[in-house]
């Protein structure tokens, strides 16, 4: 066992002060499900762990300016149980539903997941697809960064030595939009994604009777796609984010550009997926082959688009239609 | 036989479930002895290298370190049935898992620190990781003194004339299948505690599945250590899973013994999960070529199988799996002509052990996939094809197995019914059904010269029964079924019977918990002793009640007369009366049961077991053609068990076996690169979780085995034997693509679908 | 350097000196002699070390001991000791439904089940599977474990709640 001291500051200022004091000898710990494993595997041997769990006011989910603010110390379990997250942030709800296990979700935090910056971080593609930014506090003050700029490499973030990620800012979503996340795994629990795909899709109208009907009776994929083609829905806005497809979680911006303003059809979604696949740089790893990851990037986006549309139409249904 | 039993056939809770449920069972990890030291092992850094120099001086000087051992400061102890292994390696390392040095210290942290202070200088040698490569002329030799990488093992079985039969077959299929390394994943990792007494007698606290054979192995080790005429006592703690992983004695056990002797203190070695994955022996992989044929009507004519087994760098039971693979090859379905050869080849990979099924799942994968291929060639429905060729009671197979009870046809039909076979089969629309059968030994197995098990029973003054059995409980429920049959025989309740099964000083000999033999052999043994005890009790009762013995019944802890039921006496009272008197008697009996089965002869023929278990599994799958993912819509199993002594525990064996089999089929594999295991953890070794459980249905079929205790046969292994081929066959039915190497991953399916599209 | 922590363990107040780098699992097994929670992997991937902290199931092998200060911790031993007859209904259900074979995963399974039923006394089969998705069992194939938890939920509601 590696020995370290364990400090539990009661305020952010105290925590930042400790970070400054210990420099590279200290490591921040929130839920601990990544840090404790890394220490056990001897990836690093800090002299001091600085716990964030004693700091009040870092764990919350609240509405602001039509969007949501999520405290970095919010656990995945709290996100899982939040009606607000489930209703507004479909992709994030999808991610936490299937992240680790209940035991892990009970202590692991969304801030920890993002700061660990693994290419496979399950909350990353959803947050990217939702257009999230991060608020960071350090000894030199506070700054806000788009999430795309936060990941610098596998395990590397834009945080300076004495900075702490404190909040996720999720902007108000476009009208008639929803998001979804697909975690492609080998088994149904306790798994990391072979590939992770998140999408936010906004369309210009919510009249799509054929599609609504097909969703209602849980029609197979082929039929759903057929109904989609009939529905003449135009993409107003789209964000597509991929995990385990590059050294960091990434946005497939070329694919997004392609789909914006176009009719959402099988054909378009196929091309959408192919462009995204060509933008990605997946590798061969123990967890999966690059060719297979590329194939999945091609075929999964249309399923995600359907999931988003199902949520848009269902929401519209709940809100009395338009 | 429609008898109403009180204990047998009932879902009696497992005897040790209570202490396990309240967290008070003592596993090897929980065991602490006064003065105990902690041992840790240093493993090789190369898959193949000369050991140039080992410097342990810094490690020895670390405060808290009590002993440091290497291959150079211990006596030579040759272990494994092929005698090609030693507890610590000297001169050379042959695989990444080779043990190079070991430390005993006052706590595990210091022991780990000491390992890092041991300096080993290696001279890497060229390595070979593929058995077919290793067979070539210019391949590096693993054990130079053997002059070849092919082991001298006699695996060859011939019955009838395969070549002739092939010529005369109407339909013939031939193909190659590959099965990979998977591992037991016992939730309790390996470990032991070794301690010597002042006279150099050894006690090993162990999780072994072979306490008495282990005694013998350790006696040999003591001899090599210059200790002759010493006693070896093996005490089993609660065992956190076996599945065959503990059917051999392992390097770490000898290391613990050597450290205990060197330090004169108890030494505990336990494995971390990473060590368990990297340094214990997995299931034997194989490359299997199989050809099968049938006549115009669909009757099987021949089966011709050749296998190449990657033996790894040393030899354990993996190399003997061919002796069990012969069983399905010769005796699953009626096949008059059979030929089988297997080559075991040294490589610088890890070496393999027994694992649930012991070669049967591997061979059955090839045989049952090939059966579907043959059925297709002959234009016969695969279920019909199996029924047509199914084994029947009373037949003698080409390996000279005498099949007594056999409900294979009923199992196949049950599976077909549960799956709705006729309706679901042949759609090729992304959904499909498939099935596969199994044969396994169910009435003991004469692997060793003895297949016996001893029991001693004593009944105390209060009518409580103590059963001392050589059998072991590894979680499967041996303790409970033994108690049930004894309770039934003696007219008491299962809770009145205590089973003691974990101490070689106290319990009689048993060959080990393998080959699904424990219910059959240990219960027959217990019944033998129980019948002797009963006879004694009836003699006493006849005197006490003044009634003839043949009128007496033992029931509900009471002995009463059938013709005069008011003439009765409570069991405890009878027994107290028997010994609280001059020339008193205590009721005790022993019985050593060695089943009337045969060791296989030089041609590997003989009635290996007294009874054979049969079964069939079926699966309905849905394949996502875009992603290659397989979803199991329904999984069904039908098992011919003779008689279910405890239906609840028996179901547990079927469900547990099936989930292990599904993992074998779809998700589990040990990934190696240059001899190093790359996924030594539960995240990347994909053992299935509760969320992966498919809708599952199991049917127990009880044709009553005449040689079995209350008609029972074995069930421990059959549950994981036919899963993989059933799933492979279902996938073929769903999408017309056959994956011939395990596991059947989405990548393989997608690649095969794309191949199919091209052509 | 040792630090003092104080917390509620199985309903009783405990004060103990710990090394800050210890995990809760280490404290329970090596110091407090509560060996029910097991180390199955040491990395939070198997659930054999599951205990309940402040009402939530956690993997104690990754739980820093310093975070236990002021918390309420329940282990499988405590469940038995504080139940009438020395056996909690969930433990009884496990025993009666064949949910225990080798038993190594059992303490963790039972605590995950307890955490579930405390929060959701009438779970669906899917909810039960989710609650134990982080508890690996190699012996039972999970089916009888799921049955046991269903039985405990039913039995519990007859007796007025599983407590």
CATH of the domain at B520: 3.30.365.10
| Position C163 in a domain | no
Residue of chain C minimizing CA distance to A31: C63
- pLDDT on residue C156: 56
Q: CA dihedral in degrees (C17, C23, C29, C32; nearest 10)?
A: 20
| Selected residue of C26, C43, C59, C142 to mutate for chain A interface (largest A Cβ count, 10 A) | C59
CB contact under 8 A, C66 and A6: yes
| Angle B7-B12-B18 from CA coordinates, rounded to 5° | 135
| Position C122 in a domain | yes
CB contact under 8 A, B626 and A189: no
- Looking up residue C142, the CATH number of its domain turns out to be 1.10.150.120
| Selected residue of C29, C30, C98 to mutate for chain B interface (largest B Cβ count, 10 A) | C98
**In angstroms, rounded to a whole number, what is the distance separating the alpha carbons of residues A77 and B114?**
41
| Position B6 in a domain | no
A189 inside 8 A of chain B by CB: yes
Phi then psi for residue B573, to 5 deg, are: -60, -45
Radius of gyration of chain B from Cα atoms?
27
Q: Is the pLDDT of residue B221 over 60?
A: yes
- pLDDT on residue A319: 61
Same-domain pairing of C37 and C60? yes
Residue of chain B minimizing CA distance to C96: B13
- pLDDT on residue A2: 87
CB contact under 8 A, C46 and B26: no
Same-domain pairing of C69 and C91? no
Same-domain pairing of B106 and B39? yes
- Looking up residue B96, the CATH number of its domain turns out to be 3.90.1170.50
Q: In 3D, which of B345, B316, B274 has the Cα closest to residue B677? A: B274
Taking only the tens place, the pLDDT of each residue in A135-192 is 999 999 999 999 999 999 999 999 999 999 999 999 999 999 999 999 999 999 999 9
Task: Find tokens 């991610």 and name the residue.
Answer: A95
| Position C62 in a domain | yes
C12 inside 8 A of chain A by CB: no
Contact B544, B577 (CB under 8 A): yes
Same-domain pairing of C39 and C83? no
Q: Of B217, B235, B270, at which residue does a domain stop?
A: B270
C70 inside 8 A of chain A by CB: no
**In angstroms, rounded to a whole number, what is the distance separating the alpha carbons of residues C4 and B202?**
42
Q: Of C60, C75, C90, at which residue does a domain stop?
A: C75
Residues of chain C contacting residue A49, judged by C-beta atoms under 8 Å apart: 20, 64
Which among B692, B745, B750 has CB closest to A188?
B692
Contact A169, A129 (CB under 8 A): no
Taking only the tens place, the pLDDT of each residue in B437-467 is 999 999 999 999 999 999 999 999 999 999 9
Largest CA distance in chain A: 64
**Cβ neighbour number for residue A67 with a 10 Å cutoff:** 16
CB contact under 8 A, A186 and B686: yes
**In angstroms, rounded to a whole number, what is the distance separating the alpha carbons of residues A188 and B470?**
41
Same-domain pairing of B651 and B561? no
**In angstroms, rounded to a whole number, what is the distance separating the alpha carbons of residues B470 and B451?**
12
Same-domain pairing of C70 and C110? no
Radius of gyration of chain C from Cα atoms?
15
Which among A3, A107, A189 has CB closest to C58?
A107
CB contact under 8 A, C44 and A37: yes
**In angstroms, rounded to a whole number, what is the distance separating the alpha carbons of residues B396 and B598?**
14
Q: Is the pLDDT of residue B480 over 80?
A: yes
Residue of chain A minimizing CA distance to C49: A103
Length of chain A counted residue by residue: 322
| Position B90 in a domain | yes
Q: Which two tokens stand for residue A290?
A: 């690059």
A273 inside 8 A of chain B by CB: no
- Looking up residue C10, the CATH number of its domain turns out to be 3.10.20.30
H-helix or E-strand containing B489?
Answer: helix B478-490
Same-domain pairing of B555 and B504? yes
CA distances to A198, A274, A292 from A245, in Å: 12, 13, 11
ipTM surpassing 0.90, yes or no? yes
**Cβ neighbour number for residue B411 with a 10 Å cutoff:** 27
Residues of chain C contacting residue A6, judged by C-beta atoms under 8 Å apart: 3, 20-21, 64-66
Task: Find tokens 């409570």 and name the residue.
Answer: B570
CB contact under 8 A, C62 and A36: yes
Confidence class for position B2, pLDDT limits 50, 70, 90: low
Mean of all residue pLDDT scores within chain B: 97
Same-domain pairing of B648 and B586? no
Same-domain pairing of C130 and C147? yes
CA distances to B132, B139, B312, B342 from B150, in Å: 10, 11, 11, 11
Contact C44, A103 (CB under 8 A): yes
pTM for the predicted model, two decimal places: 0.97
Helix intervals (H) in B264-334: 273-279, 321-331
**In angstroms, rounded to a whole number, what is the distance separating the alpha carbons of residues A140 and B222?**
69
Taking only the tens place, the pLDDT of each residue in B719-755 is 999 999 999 999 999 999 999 999 999 999 999 999 9
Q: Which two tokens stand for residue B540?
A: 């006493």
| Position B236 in a domain | yes
Same-domain pairing of B537 and B571? yes
| Position C30 in a domain | yes
**In angstroms, rounded to a whole number, what is the distance separating the alpha carbons of residues B433 and B727?**
8
Residues of chain C contacting residue B649, judged by C-beta atoms under 8 Å apart: 98
In chain C, how many domains are there? 2
Q: Which two tokens stand for residue A81?
A: 């149980």
Query: What is B518-554 written as a DSSP string?
Result: IIIIIHHHHHHHHHHHHHHHHHHHHHHHT--GGGEEE
A104 inside 8 A of chain C by CB: yes
**Cβ neighbour number for residue B396 with a 10 Å cutoff:** 11
Residues of chain C contacting residue A190, judged by C-beta atoms under 8 Å apart: 45, 133-134, 136
A42 inside 8 A of chain C by CB: no
Q: Which two tokens stand for residue B403?
A: 């099949």
Exposure string over A168-196, b if 16+ CB within 10 A, otherwise e? bbbeebeebbbbbbbbbbbbbbbbbbbbb
Q: Of B593, B608, B638, at which residue does a domain stop?
A: B593
| Position B306 in a domain | yes
CB contact under 8 A, A292 and B686: no
Taking only the tens place, the pLDDT of each residue in B373-396 is 999 999 999 999 999 999 999 999
What SS3 string covers B159-186?
A: ECCHHHHHHCCCEEEEEEEEECCCCCCC
Q: Of B567, B593, B619, at which residue does a domain stop?
A: B593
| Selected residue of C36, C101, C129, C145 to mutate for chain B interface (largest B Cβ count, 10 A) | C101
Rounded to the nearest angstrom, the minimum Cα separation between B496 and chain C is 17
H-helix or E-strand containing B677?
Answer: strand B676-677
| Position C12 in a domain | yes
CB contact under 8 A, A189 and B689: yes
Average pLDDT over residues B72-94: 96
A288 inside 8 A of chain B by CB: yes
Sign of CA dihedral A15, A16, A19, A22: negative
CB contact under 8 A, A286 and B679: yes
Taking only the tens place, the pLDDT of each residue in B105-126 is 999 999 999 999 999 999 999 9
Same-domain pairing of C71 and C132? no
Rounded to the nearest angstrom, the minimum Cα separation between B8 and chain A is 38
Same-domain pairing of C38 and C106? no
The interaxial angle of helices A290-318 and A266-279, nearest 10 deg, is 130
Contact B675, B181 (CB under 8 A): no
- Bin B270: left if φ > 0, else alpha if -120 < ψ < 50, else beta: beta
Q: What distance lies between CA B92 and its chain's CA centroid?
A: 31
Residues of chain B contacting residue C132, judged by C-beta atoms under 8 Å apart: 690
Same-domain pairing of B346 and B379? yes
Strand ordering across the sheet containing B65-70: B65-70, B99-105, B37-43, B267-270, B191-196, B202-206, B232-236
* Domain limits, chain A: 5-51, 61-170, 177-318
Contact A295, B629 (CB under 8 A): no
Largest CA distance in chain C: 51
Same-domain pairing of B224 and B209? yes
**In angstroms, rounded to a whole number, what is the distance separating the alpha carbons of residues C37 and C26?**
10
A189 inside 8 A of chain C by CB: yes
Same-domain pairing of B46 and B108? yes
Q: In 3D, which of B347, B345, B354 has the Cα closest to residue B95? A: B347
Residue numbers of the domain that contains B735: 286-446+600-758
**In angstroms, rounded to a whole number, what is the distance separating the alpha carbons of residues B205 and B657?**
28
| Position B48 in a domain | yes
Low-confidence spans in chain A with pLDDT less than 50: 321-322
A321 inside 8 A of chain C by CB: no
Residue numbers of the domain that contains C94: 79-158
**In chain B, % of residues over pLDDT 70:** 100
| Position B130 in a domain | no
**In angstroms, rounded to a whole number, what is the distance separating the alpha carbons of residues B93 and B71?**
11
Class level of CATH domain A5-51: alpha beta
Contact B680, B372 (CB under 8 A): no
| Selected residue of B15, B38, B187 to mutate for chain C interface (largest C Cβ count, 10 A) | B187
Query: What is A41-72 written as a DSSP string?
Result: TTS---SEEEE-TT-TT---EEEETTEEEEET
Q: Does domain A61-170 have CATH number 3.30.930.10?
A: no
In chain B, how many domains are there? 3
Peptide bond into B743 cis (omega under 30): yes
- The fold for domain A177-318 equals Enolase-like; domain 1 (3.30.390)
C63 inside 8 A of chain A by CB: yes
Q: Which two tokens stand for residue A14?
A: 């105290």
Q: Which two tokens stand for residue B436?
A: 């596969």
Q: Which two tokens stand for residue A69?
A: 């603010």
**Cβ neighbour number for residue B553 with a 10 Å cutoff:** 15
**Cβ neighbour number for residue B138 with a 10 Å cutoff:** 6
Same-domain pairing of B607 and B529? no
Contact A33, C60 (CB under 8 A): no
Contact B207, B234 (CB under 8 A): no
**Cβ neighbour number for residue B371 with a 10 Å cutoff:** 28
CB contact under 8 A, C133 and A101: yes
Task: Find tokens 């010493």 and name the residue.
Answer: B230
Q: Of C75, C110, C128, at which residue does a domain stop?
A: C75
| Position B133 in a domain | no
pLDDT tens for chain C, residues 1 to 163? 799 999 999 999 999 999 999 999 999 999 999 999 999 999 999 999 999 999 999 999 999 999 999 999 999 999 999 999 999 999 999 999 999 999 999 999 999 999 999 999 999 999 999 999 999 999 999 999 999 999 999 985 444 333 3
| Position C133 in a domain | yes
Same-domain pairing of B194 and B76? yes
Q: Is the pLDDT of residue B282 over 90?
A: yes
CB contact under 8 A, A190 and B682: yes
- pLDDT on residue B32: 97
Residues 6+ apart with CB under 8 A from B76: B86, B224
Average pLDDT over residues B133-143: 97
Strand ordering across the sheet containing B588-593: B497-500, B465-469, B453-459, B588-593
Rounded to the nearest angstrom, the minimum Cα separation between A146 and chain B is 31
Same-domain pairing of B377 and B490? no
Same-domain pairing of C86 and C154? yes
Residues 6+ apart with CB under 8 A from B462: B572
Average pLDDT over residues B130-143: 97
Residues of chain B contacting residue C97, judged by C-beta atoms under 8 Å apart: 648
Q: In 3D, which of B752, B759, B436, B398 has the Cα closest to residue B607? A: B398
Interface A-B, measured as beta-carbon pairs within 8 A, has a size of 40
Q: In 3D, which of B596, B595, B607 has the Cα closest to residue B331? A: B607
- pLDDT on residue C158: 40
């Amino acid at each position: 066992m590696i020995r370290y001291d364990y400090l539990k500051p009661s305020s952010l200022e105290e925590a930042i002060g400790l970070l400054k004091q210990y420099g590279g000898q200290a490591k921040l710990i929130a839920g601990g499900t990544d840090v404790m494993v890394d220490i056990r595997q001897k990836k690093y041997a800090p002299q001091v762990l600085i716990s964030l769990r004693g700091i009040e006011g870092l764990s919350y989910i609240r509405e602001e300016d039509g969007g949501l603010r999520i405290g970095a110390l919010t656990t995945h379990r709290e996100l899982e149980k939040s009606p607000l997250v489930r209703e507004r942030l479909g992709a994030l709800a999808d991610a936490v539903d299937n992240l680790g296990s209940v035991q892990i979700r009970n202590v692991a935090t969304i801030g920890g997941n993002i700061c660990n910056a693994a290419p496979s971080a399950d909350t990353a593609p959803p947050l990217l697809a939702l257009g999230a930014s991060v608020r960071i506090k350090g000894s030199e003050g506070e700054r806000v960064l788009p999430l795309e700029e936060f990941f610098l490499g596998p395990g590397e973030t834009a945080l300076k030595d004495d900075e702490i990620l404190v909040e996720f800012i999720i902007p108000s979503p476009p009208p008639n939009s929803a998001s979804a996340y697909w975690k492609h795994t080998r088994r149904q629990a306790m798994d990391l994604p072979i590939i992770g795909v998140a999408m936010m899709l906004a369309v210009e109208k919510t009249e799509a009777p054929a599609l609504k009907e097909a969703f209602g009776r849980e029609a197979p994929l082929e039929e759903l796609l057929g109904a989609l083609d009939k529905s003449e829905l135009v993409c107003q806005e789209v964000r597509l984010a991929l995990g385990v497809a590059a050294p960091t979680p990434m946005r497939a911006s070329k694919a997004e550009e392609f789909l914006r303003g176009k009719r959402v059809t099988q054909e378009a979604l196929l091309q959408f997926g192919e462009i995204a696949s060509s933008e990605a740089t997946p590798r061969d790893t123990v967890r999966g082959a690059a060719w297979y990851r590329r194939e999945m990037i091609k075929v999964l986006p249309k399923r995600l688009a359907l999931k988003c549309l199902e949520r848009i139409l269902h929401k519209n249904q709940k809100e009395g239609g338009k | 036989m429609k008898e109403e039993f009180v204990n047998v056939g009932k879902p009696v809770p497992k005897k040790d479930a209570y202490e396990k449920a309240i967290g008070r069972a003592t596993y090897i990890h929980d065991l602490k002895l006064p003065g105990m030291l902690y041992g840790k092992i240093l493993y090789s850094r190369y898959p193949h290298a000369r050991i140039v120099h080992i410097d342990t001086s810094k490690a020895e000087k670390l405060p808290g370190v009590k002993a440091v051992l290497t291959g150079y400061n211990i006596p030579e102890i040759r272990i494994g049935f092929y005698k090609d292994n030693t507890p610590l390696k000297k001169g050379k390392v042959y695989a990444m898992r080779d043990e190079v040095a070991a430390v005993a210290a006052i706590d595990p942290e210091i022991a780990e620190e000491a390992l890092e202070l041991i300096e080993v200088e290696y001279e890497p040698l060229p390595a070979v990781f593929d058995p077919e490569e290793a067979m070539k002329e210019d391949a590096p030799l693993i054990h130079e003194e053997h002059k070849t990488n092919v082991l001298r093992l006699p695996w060859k079985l011939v019955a009838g004339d395969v070549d002739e039969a092939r010529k005369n077959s109407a339909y013939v299929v031939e193909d190659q299948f590959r099965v990979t390394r998977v591992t037991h994943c016992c939730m309790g990792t390996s470990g032991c505690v070794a301690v010597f007494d002042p006279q150099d007698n050894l006690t090993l606290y162990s999780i072994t599945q072979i306490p008495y054979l282990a005694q013998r192995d350790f006696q040999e080790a003591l001899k090599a250590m210059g200790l002759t005429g010493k006693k070896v006592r093996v005490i089993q703690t609660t065992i956190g899973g076996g599945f065959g992983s503990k059917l051999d004695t392992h390097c770490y056990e000898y290391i613990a013994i050597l450290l205990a002797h060197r330090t004169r203190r108890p030494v505990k070695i336990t494995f971390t999960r990473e060590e368990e994955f990297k340094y214990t022996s997995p299931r034997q992989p194989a490359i299997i070529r199989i050809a099968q044929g049938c006549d115009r009507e669909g009757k099987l004519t021949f089966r011709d199988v050749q296998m190449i087994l990657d033996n790894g760098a040393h030899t354990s039971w993996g190399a003997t799996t061919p002796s069990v693979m012969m069983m399905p090859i010769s005796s699953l379905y009626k096949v008059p002509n059979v030929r089988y050869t297997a080559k075991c080849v040294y490589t610088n990979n890890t070496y393999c052990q027994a694992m649930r099924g012991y070669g049967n799942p591997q061979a059955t994968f090839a045989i049952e996939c090939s059966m579907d291929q043959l059925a297709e060639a002959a234009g016969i429905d695969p279920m019909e094809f199996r029924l047509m060729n199914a084994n029947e009671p009373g037949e003698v197979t080409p390996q000279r197995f005498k099949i007594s009870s056999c409900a294979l046809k009923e199992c196949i039909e049950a599976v077909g019914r549960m799956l709705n076979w006729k309706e679901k089969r042949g759609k090729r629309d992304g959904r499909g059904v498939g099935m596969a059968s199994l044969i396994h030994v169910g009435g003991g197995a004469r692997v060793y010269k003895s297949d016996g098990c001893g029991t001693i029973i004593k009944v105390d003054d209060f009518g409580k029964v103590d059963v001392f059995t050589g059998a072991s409980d590894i979680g499967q429920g041996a303790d409970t079924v033994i108690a049930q049959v004894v309770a039934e025989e003696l007219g008491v309740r299962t809770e009145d019977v205590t089973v003691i099964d974990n101490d070689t000083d106290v319990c009689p000999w048993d060959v080990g918990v393998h080959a699904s033999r424990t219910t059959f052999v240990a219960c027959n043994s217990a019944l033998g002793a129980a019948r002797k005890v009963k006879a004694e009790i009836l003699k006493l009762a006849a005197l006490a009640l003044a009634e003839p013995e043949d009128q007496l019944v033992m029931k509900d802890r009471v002995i009463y007369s059938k013709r005069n039921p008011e003439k009765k006496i409570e069991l405890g009272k009878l027994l107290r009366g028997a010994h609280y008197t001059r020339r008193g008697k205590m009721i005790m009996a022993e019985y050593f049961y060695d089943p009337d089965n045969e060791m296989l002869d030089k041609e590997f023929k003989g009635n290996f077991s007294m009874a054979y278990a049969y079964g069939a599994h079926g699966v309905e799958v849905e394949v996502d053609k875009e992603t290659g993912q397989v979803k199991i819509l329904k999984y069904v199993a039908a098992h011919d068990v003779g008689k279910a002594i405890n239906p609840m525990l028996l179901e547990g064996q079927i469900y547990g076996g099936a989930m292990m089999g599904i993992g074998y089929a779809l998700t589990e594999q040990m990934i190696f690169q240059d001899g190093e295991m790359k996924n030594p953890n539960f995240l990347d070794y994909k053992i299935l979780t509760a969320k992966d459980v498919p809708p599952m249905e199991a049917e127990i079929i009880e044709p009553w085995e005449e040689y079995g205790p209350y008609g029972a046969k074995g069930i421990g292994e059959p549950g994981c034997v036919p899963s993989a081929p059933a799933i492979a066959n279902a996938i073929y039915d769903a999408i017309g693509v056959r994956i011939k190497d395990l596991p059947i991953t989405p990548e393989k399916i997608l690649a095969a679908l794309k191949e199919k599209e091209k052509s | 350097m040792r630090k003092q922590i104080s917390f509620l363990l199985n309903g009783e107040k405990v004060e103990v000196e710990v090394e800050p780098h210890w995990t809760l699992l280490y404290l329970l097994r090596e110091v407090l002699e509560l060996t029910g929670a097991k180390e199955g992997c040491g990395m939070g991937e198997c659930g054999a070390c599951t205990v309940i902290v402040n009402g939530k199931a956690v993997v104690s092998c990754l739980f820093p001991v310093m975070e236990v200060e002021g918390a309420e911790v329940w282990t499988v031993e405590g469940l038995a000791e504080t139940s009438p007859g020395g056996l909690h209904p969930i433990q009884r259900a496990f025993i009666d439904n064949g949910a225990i074979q080798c038993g190594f995963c059992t303490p963790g399974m039972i605590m995950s089940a307890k955490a579930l039923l405390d929060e959701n006394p009438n779970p669906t089969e899917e909810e039960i599977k989710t609650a134990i998705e982080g508890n690996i069992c190699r012996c039972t194939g999970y089916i009888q474990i799921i049955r046991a938890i269903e039985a405990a939920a039913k039995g519990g509601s007859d007796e007025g709640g599983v407590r």
